[in-house]
Amino acid sequence: MVDDSARAPARARRTQAERRRQTRQALLDAALLQMEAGESFDALSLRSVARAAGVVPTAFYRYFTGMDELGLVLIEDSFRALRGMLRHAREEGRAPERMIERSVEILIAYVRANRMQFAFVARIRSTGNGVLRHAIRTEIRLFVSELATDLARLPILSEWTTEDLQLLAGLLVNTMIATVEALLDAPPDAAPSEAEIARTAARQMRLIVVGVPSWRSRPAAS
């Protein structure tokens, strides 16, 4: 207790690399937090982010050239988490029948755990600053493709064309996006509405997949 050897006054002694990491993360977190609180991305300012991170505005420039660059990093990070989710779902879900319910559960668990990231992505998806919007669209397209190749492994879909698989994957991702938006709209800890959203999502996905057996790429032309 009485020992010391390095007893800094409240402000711990840190290596410079670590300090840098912490400040950078504080900036990212501050931005994320403000977005979760309802602000749209381009409604928040460099100054307010720096302020919330407990840092003077000029320090911001040590890490990002501006808010745009910070936004791009945030997008990258968020989609890394999303990819983790997809991988998780891939390994977990194998039983073909309960697959939809499992997937929805995983999705919801991830939204709960990474609410800020999801809120950020959802907000920015349709919001200003063409650069960021474009980055998101690209990531989502990638996401759809990954899901499509996943689906290709299912026996029922083994004969589908790539194009049809993309179609199906796109439809499922659309539903997932709508689900996430509904979740984010609901209060953060409203268990009942959350359960209902989950139910709706699962039923919608089921409605999609029941059509799969009767699907023919180019249905007998009228």
When CB distances are held under 5 to 8 angstroms depending on the partner's kind, the choice from a copy of itself, DNA, none that residue 67 binds is DNA
CB hemisphere CA count around 10 (13 angstroms): 0
- Using the rule CB under 8 A, which residue among 23, 48, 145, 174 binds a copy of itself? 174
The reply on whether position 185 binds a copy of itself by CB under 8 A is: yes
Locate all alpha helices (DSSP H) within the chain, ordered by sequence.
16-36, 46-52, 57-60, 67-92, 99-113, 115-125, 130-152, 162-185, 191-210
The reply on whether position 123 binds a copy of itself by CB under 8 A is: yes
By CB under 7 A, name the binding residues for DNA: 8, 13-17, 19-20, 22-23, 45-48, 54-59, 61-62, 66-67
The reply on whether position 157 binds a copy of itself by CB under 8 A is: no
Question: Under rule CB under 8 A, how many of the chain's residues touch a copy of itself?
Answer: 43
Q: Is 121 in contact with 58 (CB distance < 8 Å)? A: no
Shortest CB 57 distance to DNA, Å: 4
4: burial class by Cβ within 10 Å (0-12, 13-18, 19+)?
exposed
Shortest CB 170 distance to DNA, Å: 35
The reply on whether position 78 binds a copy of itself by CB under 8 A is: no
When CB distances are held under 5 to 8 angstroms depending on the partner's kind, the choice from DNA, a copy of itself, none that residue 62 binds is DNA
